[in-house]
Structure 1
Amino acid sequence: MLAAWREVLGTPKVGLDDDFFTLGGHSFAAMRLVGTIERLTGRRLPLAAVFQAPTVAGLSALLESEQSTTEAAPVALNAGGGAVPLFLVHPVGGEVGCYTGLSRALAGRHPVFGIAASVPTDDAPAAERVEDLAARYLRAIGDRGGVAVGGWSFGGLVAFEMRRQYREATGRALPTVLLDTPSPGLLRAHPSSGVDALVAFAEDWSEGTGFPMPVTRDELRPLDPAQRTELLVSRCIRSGGMTEADRPQIARSIAVFGRHLRAASRYDPPAVALPDPVLLVLADQGDHRERIAADWAAAAGSSLLVREVAGSHYSMLHPPGLQPLVTQVTQYLDSYGNRDGYDTGSS
């Protein structure tokens, strides 16, 4: 395990209890770490495990105990606390590393769990619709009261649908946090296949790693679908400091990204006003803020709470924009924890 960490992080100075992300790791480096561990040990961990146990000692324990064998199971992202637990659904890329800063800031007050995309199997094929993802993740959370759900970007779409399905099935409120989540109407109007999907993945890759865009639209356009994917994978390897051994993992990530993008473009929730409020936090540097707020107000009814924080779609999850976001989320969750009649799950 130490050898894998040293190889991925490019440093021999790794301790058993050093945090992967403190040492410079990020979501795509975590993806490479999982592939390197598999190559060196012959055993595969879900990517979400890196965020659940981001130390050599923690990952070694998971590997030895064979825990977290499915990425669909919620993973604990912080040390917890006594108030309303928050389950955060993965964004379009399928992973939960984007929530590292938020979960750590909420530690000790609100337990935070991440729900990463599941690995398709014969018994559980890949979900092609937001509605199917929501139903699957509600089952993963289980029949417990007193929780909240949320998500950044695409994750907010799934969380909103979870709220609708939960209320329909139980009659109970499900507090829901949308973090700069585009409205369904806006997403339905956005191209979600072919070159557009690959360019969107490249943009997300660049924002997540800090490396330049691996490909351009003009480079992809004249190629056939297989050639486009091959070029994008090869460029990600070259620009992201990865190796040929990481090729299968990158290709899987592109497939997951495209599948979720298509699901978002087809999602059209019914306009059913529910009494429990939804928190929508928008980045003040984002586009279409007025339309997004208006569209979500139409979908959620008068229960929508709209707040803005400084930053872009990506930077709002990191300092300095993170602290205002933490404040908004904490106030919202605390208001539920203190509300008379809210099912806290203690009975």
Structure 2
Amino acid sequence: QLYVLDGHLQPVPVGVPGELLIGGDPLALGYHRREDVTRRAFIDNPLPGHTGEKLYRTGDIVKWLPNGELQYIGRLDTQVKIRGNRVELGEVETVLNQHPAIHRAVVVVREDRSGGKRLVAYIVPEHPDSFVLEEVRRSLADRLTEAMRPTAYKVMDELPLTPNEKVDRDALPEPETGRPDLESEFIPPRDPLELKLMLIWEDLLSVRPIGIKDNFFDLGGHSLLAVRLFAEIEAVSGKELSLATLFHAPTIEQLAEILRREGWSPPLEKVVPANAEGALIPLFLVPPAGAVGLSFIELSRHLGDDQPVYVLLPSGLDDEDNPTGHMSEIAKVCIEEIRRLRPKGPYILGGLCFGGYVAFEIAQQLSAEGVQVPLVVLFDVHGPRFARSENLLVFHFRKFASLQGREKLHYLAERWRGLKRRAQQFGFKTAYRFFHSLGMALPSSLRRTRDAHLMARLTYSARPYPGRGLLFHAERQPEGFDTPLKGWGGLFQGGLLAHEAPGDHSTMMHEPHVRIVGQQLMDVLRPLNRELADDNGRGGDSSRITDMDVV
């Protein structure tokens, strides 16, 4: 006789997991000379009409199927200790398997980055297309204590089985470190404070990326991690917050607002380590003017754990800086920061928009000093020699003629705004040259980062560079901008390799397109690292490490 009973030793319906108990005439009397184990495993039958009978508790979790068969789910007696609390994995699995959206689930213990233990749930949904993990999280929050709730989930098509049709727990894959499926939309940090908090969260939670509206506890956070989180915040800010703060403000956005009310903002670092680990040649990337390089942090996640990546932040992102309007000075400051972290080369450099110009000038200065720069990577940067694919006046006339009615008026309005921007740029350029010729500092009204960097770009005179370049140009370009080399042809004497990246200028460096850019970049960096190592071992010159054509 087979019985499937719940924790109160009552029968469960078909499809609901419970413990398998065995009874009947062939049942053994107990364990030989092990009375304590016999008392726990052989119990009186609690069901009506079975007085005097015994049942054997197998410790197996099973459920009845509609066809009368039993399906094995797991073990009930797998007890572990999580953050000082004893947890029966079987109990957690029972609650998970009772959720109507779950076909089958198991829970195992894994180590987190700090060496502590955490619960990981592996789930096979009943209906994968309509499965919502967030609903399962909420359900567990209502039924399980904090220590019993898994902090990571892996949704699978099926669970690996042993020849005996039991779950092969050793074959279960490691959980992914990517952002889980959350209800909140991913919104990246918007300022240095939110960026600092994001980096702390990502390091503690081993989850990347994290958005400013993501809940700390939904990402796998718990009370002990909360203690470490607030210790980190106090270390960088000097502000001591109570742990209760996190329950009222469990997102980066809310925590940042509290810190702002406390009157604190982080001192902006000149270099943000997107990945400080690895033995490959470090990659230093320069973001657009006034930006904090979040797209490069996304990119670094697709370059492998052994590729060091640093984001250089040119001066002027905090109020105390006095940003220069000269490209050579900007590059000089960046070189000082590079050498502070990595005193000796070689270095790989790259940049997006304005940052591409800075990276190019850094490479020029380092190369003149004899420092190895095996590659300069440009992300959709219009070069100094860029020219539209057709005459600007012809282009606008053709575009205007193709429009109808109100569209013509809107187009004229847009062009007027563009003309104003061009006039402003011309004014910046003229003002910079005037003050620079007199040896005078820029007026405060022209010192804002974006203005100063704009002047640096407009007045930059690029010289041919003896090294090699890699250019990623967006697949979708504005009309008239569809030149594949974007004005960099002839400036890389060592060769220029061009890759087309999916998306447009605004989207190519964000998911999902940045994943492809990362893979293409890694396909270039890995062999470059190997060949440079071989070349240095022979005492050769890195200039020979290339199969790029000069364009």
- TM-score, normalized by length of structure 2? 0.40
**What is the aligned partner in structure 2 of residue 154 from structure 1?**
354
Say whether the 8 Å CA contact 1:95–1:117 is kept in structure 2: no
Choose the corresponding residue for 2:519, options 307, 310, 327: 327
Change (3 A) 1:278 1:27: same
2:482 is aligned with 1:282: no
Equivalence map 1:141-220=2 (5 Å): 141-142=338-339, 143-186=343-386
How big is the shift at 1:107?
Answer: 4.4
Select which of 88, 113, 116 maps to 2:310: 113
2:187 aligned with 1:25: yes
Q: Which has the higher helix share?
A: 1
Instruction: Name whichever structure is richer in strand by fraction.
Output: 2
Establish whether residue 318 from structure 1 lines up as the match of residue 480 from structure 2: no
Q: Could you tell me which residue of structure 2 aligns to residue 198 of structure 1?
A: none
Instruction: Report the secondary structure of 2:301's partner residue.
Output: helix
Contact 1:81-1:111 at 8 Å conserved across structures: yes
Cα distance change on mapping 1:289 and 1:307 into 2, 3 Å: farther
CA shift at 1:338, angstroms? Answer: 0.7
User: Is 2:352–2:379's contact at 8 Å kept on the other side of the alignment?
Assistant: yes
Tell me which residue corresponds to 2:326.
Answer: 129
- Return 5+ residue gaps in structure 1 as ranges: 1-14, 35-46, 188-215, 226-250
Q: Secondary structure at the match of 1:297?
A: coil
**Any unmatched runs of 5+ in structure 2?**
1-150, 152-177, 203-228, 240-263, 388-413, 425-443, 538-551
1:191 corresponding residue in structure 2: none
User: Does residue 1:258 correspond to 2:470, yes or no?
Assistant: no
Q: Is residue 236 of structure 2 the alignment partner of residue 62 of structure 1?
A: yes
1:54–1:132 Cα change, 3 Å: farther
Return the offset for 1:296.
Answer: 1.0
The Cα of 1:62 is off from its aligned counterpart by 2.5
Three-state SS of the structure 1 residue aligned to 2:349 is: strand
Structure 1 residues 60 and 285: alpha-carbon distance in aligned structure 2, compared to 1, 3 A threshold: farther
| Offset, 1:177 | 0.8
1:248-306 Cα offsets, whole Å, 9 max, x none, are xxx99x9322221221111111124x1x3211111111246664616312111351111
Say yes or no: does 1:267 pair with 2:267.
no
Counterpart in the other structure of 1:71 = 269
How many residue pairs were aligned?
A: 252
Cα distance in structure 2, aligned partners of 1:177 and 1:49? 26
Runs of 4+ in 1 over 3 A off after TM superposition: 21-25, 47-61, 64-71, 119-125, 216-221, 287-292
For 2:474 and 2:501, locate their aligned partners in 1 and report how far apart those are by CA, in whole Å: 5
CA change 1:59–1:326 in 2 (3 A) is farther
Secondary structure class of the residue paired with 1:295:
coil
Q: How big is each residue's C-alpha offset from its partner over 1:7-37, in whole Å with a ceiling of 9 and x where there is no partner?
A: xxxxxxxx9xx99x98743243x35xx3xxx
Equivalent in the alignment of 1:246: none
State, as a whole percentage, how many aligned pairs show the same letter. 23
Measured after TM superposition, the shift of residue 59 of structure 1 is 4.5
SS in 1 for 2:196: helix
Contact 2:326–2:456 at 8 Å: present in 1 too? yes
Structure 1 residue identity aligned to 2:509: L
Q: Partner amino acid for 2:515?
A: Q
